[in-house]
Structure formats: structure tokens, C-alpha cells
């Protein structure tokens, strides 16, 4: 193992993923983790290890230490987290901060102790300042105040980025941080209150269509802008970066295209086949006015998304229908 200087530059040993490398996907039943699992299976990886949260609670320091010292994974995708939409983030503020810090502290530290060759930490676009210039460049991290509704979650994610960088700088660990934009896809969370906007509206429009409701409630003003990436595209980007990217700091993953929440609602209504009216509920928070990712760093490395929003929405709606 090489020792690094304190300037956070890349001094970690670089290894190549092998088809029989032991790969731990933390959070493999979630939307992102299951997409990464599918991708690795498709690429013929033969030694993927997984645990559900009831088999291994990643908040439990001793349990995580025992797991890592027994299993000794070579590579780790850290896709386990407490995740939710704007109201869940704002309501369960303590849980979002505590649980995410605990999970990432345990997994990152034990990965260091057991000599994991490379770890990928998944952050989120909410780490950027609420009113940062658009599109969001990686260097805008910590240049302004965060959006209030998800500040605890964002603080945990920022700590995760800094932790990966600190372990790289002090111990030469090849731990990388990727920042996905808002995601959707198979195995999404369709909870009426706690989910993100896209799955929430798929459900609400589908229920309204089936009950012949004359209107559908959309939270907030409908004017905030969001960018959406299909989770299987995200998994492909994670796989690409796990093979090719070995730098400190962070890298954005997104499409580089966004739309208003009203436009999103109208697009989902068309995919679902709902023909009634939209009713905007101004008692609900808007959150950040816009968070469009600058994806030039990722594009320059040679990766671009494949699944456009309309196509992804059809796939997500089919998945929703297959599960209700
Ligand atoms: N969804 C989105 O729009 C975005 C997500 N991200 C990031 O991507 C990552 C994955 O998110 P996503 O797939 O959507 O989330 P999900 O809620 O779909 O999945 C989260 C997974 O984490 C696991 N998990 C949660 N708590 C624990 C725990 N205490 N111990 C062990 N496992 C636990 C769950 O395991 P189990 O099923 O076994 O209970 C679950 O499978 C997160 O880091 C998130 O911050 C980033 C940007 C946007
Ligand atoms: C991924 C990202 O997700 C969260 O941030 P967010 O982007 O604000 O997430 P959201 O999907 O919940 O909302 C997007 C917009 O949509 C509006 N909106 C309309 N109607 C519904 C609705 O029915 N549900 C929800 N949730 N939002 C709705 C809502 O009012 C807001 O203006 C972070 O907390 C954090 O978790 C994070 O990193």
C-alpha cells in the first residue's frame, strides 16, 4: 500500500475488477442496489455478496465489523441508506442524519480496516447549496447554505464524501464518491407520503384514473425544476466508474436535462392515461427551486445515459402495475 500526502490527490493502489472479485452491494434490495445487482449479473460477475437489513443492520458497528472481517469483500457499492422524498426528509430529520451517518461510518471504516480495494459511496444532488448556480458543477460543494427540508440528509452525505477523501488522504484507500441526480425505476418506493415525486405521482394518477377522480393533487407550486435518471442507467454509470474512476472529491451522475414538476405531472398523466385536472397544494414545500447536474465531467470520461424520461416512465409504470 502506498502512503499518500495530505493534499487529497490520488495515491491509492489501483486494482482491476475481475469477474470473480468479491463484491458487496450494500442495499441490494433497494431501487439502486437492485439495479447494480442486475448490472453485475449481466456482466457475469460470480461472487456478489448481499445481506438484507434484517440480516445485517448496518447501523450496528459490531455487526458490520464481524461481517467485514468474515467476508473480506474486495469491492463495495455503498447503496444502503435511509432514503425518502421531501416530506420524509423534513419530518424524520433525526433519523435521516443519524442512520445515514451510522451506516456510512460503519461501512467506510470497516472497508478501510479489512483492506477493501475500492469502495463507491453514493451521495445525492441535495449536497449542493440551495441557490447554487445552474448547472451544478462538482466544485460548488460547500459554497453556500443547504436546502432546509433535507439539510440533515445532505449533511450526512457531505460527511460521506469527506470521509472517503480523508481515508484516501491518510490511508491511501481508493474510496470514490458519486452524486446521482433524482432517480426512478424498478423497485421504487410508492409510499403516498414518504416517496419521491415521480413514484408518488405514478401512484396518484393511476389511482385517480381507476376511481374516475376529477383532479389530482400535486404538492407545492409545480414550478421547481428537477432532473430524473432511470436507476438502470445509474447502475451502468456506477459500474463504469467503478472500473475507470479513481479520484478524490465527487462526480455527478445525471442526464443534464430537467423539467418543471408541472411538466413532469403532465407527462406522467399522459403515460398513465389520466385525463382530469391538476390541483397544486401550496401547503406542501417546493424545496430547492432547481438542481440540474453539470454532467460534463462524466460525459468527458465517455459515459452518457441511454433511457429518456418518457421511455423510463413507461417502464416504471409497468413495474408499479406489476407490484400492486
Ligand atoms: N432514490 C433517489 O432518487 C436517489 C437515491 N440516491 C442514493 O442512492 C442510494 C440508494 O437509494 P435507493 O435505492 O433509492 O433507496 P431504497 O430505499 O430503495 O433502498 C435503500 C436500501 O438500503 C437498505 N438499508 C437501509 N437501512 C439499512 C440498515 N440500517 N441496514 C442495512 N441496510 C439498510 C435497505 O435494505 P433492506 O431492503 O434490506 O431493508 C434498502 O434496500 C442511497 O445512498 C441514496 O441516498 C441518490 C440520489 C437520488
Ligand atoms: C433525491 C432528492 O429527493 C429529495 O428532494 P426533492 O428533489 O425535493 O424530492 P421530491 O422528489 O420529494 O420532490 C420534488 C418536488 O416535487 C414536488 N412534489 C409534487 N408532488 C409531490 C408528491 O406527491 N410527492 C413528493 N415527494 N414530491 C412532490 C415537491 O414539492 C418538490 O417540489 C431530497 O429530500 C433528497 O432525498 C434528495 O436527495
What confidence tier does 10 reach under pLDDT thresholds 50, 70, 90? low
Which residue among the candidates 24, 75, 128, 153 is catalytic per the annotation? Answer: 153
What confidence tier does 244 reach under pLDDT thresholds 50, 70, 90? very high
Each residue of 198-243: pLDDT tens digit?
Answer: 999 999 999 999 999 999 999 999 999 999 999 999 999 999 999 9
pLDDT of residue 12: 86
- Ligand 1 atom with the smallest distance to the CA of 102 is 29
Q: How far apart, in whole angstroms, are the C-alpha atoms of residue 32 and residue 35? A: 5
Interface pTM, i.e. ipTM: 0.99
Each residue of 32-84: pLDDT tens digit?
Answer: 999 999 999 999 999 999 999 999 999 999 999 999 999 999 999 999 999 99
* Residue 253 near ligand 1, beta carbon < 6 Å: no
Element (H, E) at 280: strand 277-281
- Ligand 2 atom with the smallest distance to the CA of 126 is 38
Residue 31 assigned to a binding site: yes
Q: Closest residue (by CA) to atom 32 of ligand 2? A: 286
Q: Taking residues 302-316, report their average pLDDT.
A: 98
* Residue 22 near ligand 1, beta carbon < 6 Å: no
pLDDT of residue 9: 53
Cis peptide before 148 (omega within 30 of 0): no
pTM of the model: 0.97
* Distance (Å) from CA 228 to ligand 1 centroid: 17
Ligand index nearest the alpha carbon of residue 36: 1
Residue 303 assigned to a binding site: no
Does 7 have pLDDT greater than 60? Answer: no
Residue with grid cell 468527458, as numbered in its chain: 300
pLDDT of residue 4: 40
Please enumerate in sequence order all residues whose Cβ is within 8 A of that of 4, keeping only pairs 6 or more positions apart, or say none.
11, 12, 168, 169, 170, 171, 172
Element (H, E) at 182: strand 182-184
| C-beta separation of 58 from 107 below 8 A | yes
Pairing of strands 250-253, 215-219: unpaired
Share in percent of the chain as helix, strand, coil (round to 5)? 45, 15, 40
Q: Can you list the domains of the chain with their CATH numbers? A: 23-185+228-254+292-307 (3.40.50.720)
| C-beta separation of 161 from 127 below 8 A | yes
DSSP one-letter code for 256: S
Cell reading at 282: 401550496
pLDDT of residue 38: 98
- Please, what is the average pLDDT of the chain? 96
- Ligand 2 atom with the smallest distance to the CA of 195 is 26
Does 2 have pLDDT greater than 90? Answer: no
Residue with grid cell 438542481, as numbered in its chain: 291
* Residue 272 near ligand 1, beta carbon < 6 Å: no
- Ligand 1 atom with the smallest distance to the CA of 188 is 18
Best mutation site among 63, 67, 80 for ligand 1, i.e. most ligand atoms within 8 A of its Cβ?
80
Asked about 153 being catalytic, the answer comes back as yes
Q: Taking residues 167-192, report their average pLDDT.
A: 98
| C-beta separation of 141 from 157 below 8 A | no
Each residue of 253-298: pLDDT tens digit?
Answer: 999 999 999 999 999 999 999 999 999 999 999 999 999 999 999 9
Each residue of 94-148: pLDDT tens digit?
Answer: 999 999 999 999 999 999 999 999 999 999 999 999 999 999 999 999 999 999 9
Please enumerate in sequence order all residues whose Cβ is within 8 A of that of 153, keeping only pairs 6 or more positions apart, or say none.
82, 89, 96, 97, 100, 124, 126
* Residue 224 near ligand 2, beta carbon < 6 Å: yes
* Residue 220 near ligand 2, beta carbon < 6 Å: yes
* Distance (Å) from CA 65 to ligand 2 centroid: 35
Amino acid at each position: 500500500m502506498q502512503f499518500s500526502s495530505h493534499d487529497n490527490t490520488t495515491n491509492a493502489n489501483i486494482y482491476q475488477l475481475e469477474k470473480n472479485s468479491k463484491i458487496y452491494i450494500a442495499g441490494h434490495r433497494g431501487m439502486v442496489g437492485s439495479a447494480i445487482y442486475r448490472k453485475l449479473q449481466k456482466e457475469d460477475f460470480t461472487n456478489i455478496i448481499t445481506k438484507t437489513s434484517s440480516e445485517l443492520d448496518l447501523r450496528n458497528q459490531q455487526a458490520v465489523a464481524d461481517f467485514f472481517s468474515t467476508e473480506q469483500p474486495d469491492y463495495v457499492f455503498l447503496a444502503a441508506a435511509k432514503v425518502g422524498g421531501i416530506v420524509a426528509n423534513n419530518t424524520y430529520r433525526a433519523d435521516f442524519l443519524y442512520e445515514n451517518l451510522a451506516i456510512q461510518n460503519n461501512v467506510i471504516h470497516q472497508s478501510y480496516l479489512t483492506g477493501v480495494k475500492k469502495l463507491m459511496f453514493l451521495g445525492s444532488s441535495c449536497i449542493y447549496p440551495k441557490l447554487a448556480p445552474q448547472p451544478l458543477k462538482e466544485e460548488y460543494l460547500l459554497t453556500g447554505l443547504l436546502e432546509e427540508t433535507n439539510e440533515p440528509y445532505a449533511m450526512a452525505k457531505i460527511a460521506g464524501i469527506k470521509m472517503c477523501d480523508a481515508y484516501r488522504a491518510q490511508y491511501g484507500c481508493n474510496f470514490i464518491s458519486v452524486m446521482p441526480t433524482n432517480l426512478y425505476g424498478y423497485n421504487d418506493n410508492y409510499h403516498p407520503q414518504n416517496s419521491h415525486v415521480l413514484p408518488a405521482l405514478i401512484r396518484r394518477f393511476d389511482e385517480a384514473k381507476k376511481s374516475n377522480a376529477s383532479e389530482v393533487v400535486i404538492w407545492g407550486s409545480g414550478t421547481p425544476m428537477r432532473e430524473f435518471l432511470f436507476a438502470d442507467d445509474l447502475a451502468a454509470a456506477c459500474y463504469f466508474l467503478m472500473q475507470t474512476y479513481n479520484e478524490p472529491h465527487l462526480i455527478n451522475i445525471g442526464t443534464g436535462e430537467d423539467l418543471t414538476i408541472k411538466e413532469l405531472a403532465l407527462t406522467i398523466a399522459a403515460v398513465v392515461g389520466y385525463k382530469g385536472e391538476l390541483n397544486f397544494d401550496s401547503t406542501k414545500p417546493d424545496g430547492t427551486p432547481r438542481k440540474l447536474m453539470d454532467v460534463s465531467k462524466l460525459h468527458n470520461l465517455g459515459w452518457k445515459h441511454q433511457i429518456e424520461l418518457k421511455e423510463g416512465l413507461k417502464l416504471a409504470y409497468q413495474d408499479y402495475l406489476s407490484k400492486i
